[in-house]
């Protein structure tokens, strides 16, 4: 067994090549995939065998198309993503203006009884932003990223306004740009909606579908539906400058409606992307009778929805299967992301503390004390260690550099190779579709799904590494 830990990359040329070249069976074809070389190709079994042998022996095959692939693989691709080292360099600053929310979503796990109604102090926002922008400036980064999470960020509008203006003023002084992104339930006033459309760069609105779904999943606290307000605001946001994305939470009840939801969203609003995510099981969701969809069905419906979205020029997103990503961590954790909570703690994760503590994780990086952000170096290093290099289960999976093992809190990785859980299955199925789509071979995706046994073989393949390719029958 080859060493796949970061230290294994001392012999970069061979090790990185061997451990970043994958092959997936697509019925009688094979998909060769080398993400770090930006290479994908549909080849046959003989070519796979020749490639494997030629790579291990360091010689050409004499077959021109295969030698072309070999030549590409021998040229060093991008470096393998590595965990961060050295001084903290946040990929983004997340602000949680408040954990409170005006909705009572049936599946919401963002329950933080301790700080539910706490609103971030303006000075705290100021100090965190000043620290972050100074860091961005001194690092020579051109564009800072300030993201607002909740609860519902617009339940603390003043914090949002203040943070927006302070970051704008300060970044102007420093000569760097700043991008603002908000994740919201979209139930704000019309006046606030116009402001958001004109001021922010990206607005991600949670909308689970038409009224019948949205009002069941995401009612207001008084029991009334939220759909009408969200729909009105999406019309306004569709006219604005901000990039508008929709996040759809999918349950076993709604999974079959995904293609229809995609078509409806495209016909109704001007969107940049639509993200479908299965519902995260919580005691609340279970009590409400909302369950995650079957991963095979989710993947199939996602693929159908993706085709519709792409036809309309809208990017389909299932975050774990983003094949443009090259990362060691799926989320801000491990990427030095700093999330400021209303009580002044600085976390690596925007989930509530009890969630990560339940997994035995400490994602608290520090806190703002007397106006100065203070970080615990050990906590920062511990967060950085939450990376895919330390997830041996992922070492032989072609999604390794894309999903990077998924959410550190919610995705408990299986114990043995090939025993993929539902999240792995749907990620592998969708990522395969995305790769074939990028190769303009959607025909092979359709072909694969017409052959359930072949599909299961591909999705459940214990190792995708070319080096592990077996001759078979």
Partner 1 sequence: MASRFLETERLAERLDFLARSGLREVRLLGGEPTLHPAFEELVEQARSGGREITVFSNGLMPARALDCLADLPVWQCTVVVNVNQPDESEQDYYRQRETIRRLGERAMPGFTIYRPDFEAEFLLDLIAATGCSPVIRLGLAHPCLSGANRFLHPNQYRAVALKIVRLARAAAQTDIRLDFDCGFVRCMFSDTELERLRQAQAHIAWECSPILDVDLDGKVIHCYPLAQFMSLPLTPSATTAQMRSEFEARTRPYRQTGIFPQCSACPFRAAGQCSGGCLAATVRRFRRTPFQIEMPASERGAL
Partner 2 sequence: MSDPGPIVYHCAPTVCWVKDSEQTILVEERSGQSWSLCGPEAVVWDLLVLKYPADRIVEFLAALLDEPHERAQQELRSILQRWEEIGLLATGKGSHGQSGNQRRV
Please report, as ranges, the residues that interact with partner 1 according to CB under 8 A: 194, 198, 238-239, 241, 243-244, 266, 270, 272, 311-314
Which three-class secondary structure string do you get for 173-229? HHCCEEEEEEEECCCCCHHHHHHHHHHCCEEEEECCCCHHHHHHHCCECCCCCCHHH
* Per-residue mark of binding to partner 2, 308-347 (x: CB under 8 A): ----------------------------------------
Of 42, 111, 176, 177, the one binding partner 2 by CB under 8 A: 177
Q: Which has the closest alpha carbon to 25: 449, 352, 467, 448?
A: 448
162 binds partner 2 (CB under 8 A): yes
2 binds, among partner 2, partner 1, none (CB under 5 to 8 A by kind): none
Angle at the Cα of 247 from the Cα atoms of 245 and 252, rounded to 5 degrees: 150
First-to-last C-alpha distance (Å) of the chain = 24
CB of 110 to partner 2, least distance (A): 25
313 binds, among partner 2, partner 1, none (CB under 5 to 8 A by kind): partner 1
How are strands ordered across the β-sheet holding 22-26? 22-26, 29-34, 39-43
Length of the chain: 473
Structural tokens at position 392:
């041996």
Of 114, 169, 211, 311, the one binding partner 2 by CB under 8 A: 169
184 binds partner 2 (CB under 8 A): no
Q: What are phi and psi of 67, to 5 degrees?
A: -65, -30
Q: Is the distance from CB of 367 to CB of 339 less than 8 angstroms? A: no
190 binds partner 2 (CB under 8 A): no
27 binds partner 2 (CB under 8 A): no
Given the rule CB under 8 A, which of 62-70, 87-95, 105-113, 164-172 is the region that contacts partner 2? 164-172
122 binds partner 2 (CB under 8 A): yes
369 binds, among partner 2, partner 1, none (CB under 5 to 8 A by kind): none
188 binds partner 2 (CB under 8 A): no
Helices (H) and strands (E) counted in the chain, each on its own, are 17, 14
Q: How many angstroms separate the CA atoms of 59 and 426, rounded? A: 37
Residue nearer to partner 1 on the CB measure, 168 or 252: 168
Could you list the residues that contact partner 2 (CB under 8 A)?
Answer: 122-123, 126, 158, 161-162, 165-166, 168-169, 172, 177, 191-192, 195, 198-199
């Amino acid at each position: 067994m080859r060493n796949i830990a970061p230290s294994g990359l001392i012999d970069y040329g061979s090790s990185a090549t061997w451990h970043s070249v994958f092959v997936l069976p697509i019925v009688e074809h094979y998909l060769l995939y080398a993400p770090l070389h930006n290479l994908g190709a549909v080849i046959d079994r003989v070519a796979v065998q020749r490639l494997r042998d030629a790579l291990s022996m360091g010689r050409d095959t004499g077959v021109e198309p295969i030698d072309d692939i070999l030549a590409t693989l021998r040229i060093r691709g991008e470096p393998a993503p590595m965990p961060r080292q050295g001084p903290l360099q946040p990929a983004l600053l997340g602000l949680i203006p408040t954990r409170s929310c005006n909705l009572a979503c049936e599946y919401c796990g963002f329950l933080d009884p301790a700080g539910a109604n706490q609103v971030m102090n303006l000075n705290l926002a100021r100090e965190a932003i000043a620290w972050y922008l100074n860091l961005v400036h001194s690092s020579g980064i051109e564009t800072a990223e300030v993201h607002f999470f909740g609860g519902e960020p617009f339940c603390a509008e003043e914090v949002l306004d203040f943070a927006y203006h302070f970051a704008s003023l300060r970044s102007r002084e420093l000569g760097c740009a700043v991008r603002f992104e908000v994740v919201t339930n979209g139930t704000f006033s019309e006046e606030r909606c116009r402001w958001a459309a004109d001021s922010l760069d990206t607005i991600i609105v949670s909308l689970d579908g038409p009224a019948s779904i949205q009002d069941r999943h995401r009612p207001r606290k008084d029991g009334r539906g939220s759909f009408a307000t969200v729909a009105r605001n999406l019309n306004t946001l569709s006219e604005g400058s901000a990039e508008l994305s929709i996040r759809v939470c999918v349950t076993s009840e709604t999974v079959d409606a995904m293609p229809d939801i995609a078509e409806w969203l495209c016909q109704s609003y001007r969107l940049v992307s639509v993200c479908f995510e299965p519902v995260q099981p919580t005691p609340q969701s279970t009590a409400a009778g909302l369950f995650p969809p079957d991963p095979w069905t989710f993947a199939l419906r996602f693929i159908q929805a993706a085709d519709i979205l792409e036809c309309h020029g809208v990017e389909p997103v299932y975050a774990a299967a983003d094949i443009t990503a090259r990362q060691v961590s799926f989320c801000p954790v491990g990427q030095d992301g700093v999330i400021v909570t209303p009580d002044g703690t600085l976390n690596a994760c925007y989930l509530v503390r009890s969630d990560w503590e339940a997994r035995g994780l400490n994602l608290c990086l520090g806190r703002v004390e007397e106006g100065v952000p203070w970080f615990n170096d050990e906590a920062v290093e511990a967060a950085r260690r939450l990376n895919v290099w330390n997830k041996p289960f992922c070492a032989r999976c072609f999604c390794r550099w894309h999903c990077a093992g998924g959410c550190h809190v919610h995705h408990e990785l299986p114990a043995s190779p090939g025993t993929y859980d539902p999240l792995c299955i749907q990620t592998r199925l969708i990522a395969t579709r995305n790769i074939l789509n990028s190769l303009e071979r959607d025909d092979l995706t359709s072909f694969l799904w017409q052959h359930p046994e072949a599909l299961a073989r591909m999705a459940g393949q214990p190792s995708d590494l070319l080096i592990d390719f077996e001759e078979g029958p």
